[in-house]
Amino acid sequence: MENTQKVLDAMKKAGKALKAGEIAEITGLDKKEVDKAMNLLKKEDKIISPKVCFWQPK
């Protein structure tokens, strides 16, 4: 499974806004990989930030 999909699935499963570090813990990915995946998801307009440093699926 691609990292972006892992990140998106973790966000959906959590049911709340998460920080990148929390997503890294859940997915087992390196935080740098999570950041890359999140940047791609932001560009694709699939995630939003309800408050600073927290992200959730759109």
DSSP string, the chain: --HHHHHHHHHHHHTS-B-HHHHHHHH---HHHHHHHHHHHHHTT-EEEEETTEEEE-
| pLDDT the model gives residue 13 | 95
Q: Which domain holds residue 50?
A: 3-57
Per-residue pLDDT band at 1 (split at 50, 70, 90): low
Please, what's the b/e burial string for 8-30 (b: 16 or more CB within 10 A of its CB; e: otherwise)? bebbeeeeebbebebbbebbebe
Tokens 């999140």, residue located: 38
pLDDT tens digits for range 8-41: 999 999 999 999 999 999 999 999 999 999 999 9
How many domains does the chain divide into? 1
| pLDDT the model gives residue 17 | 96
CATH code where residue 43 lies: 1.10.10.10
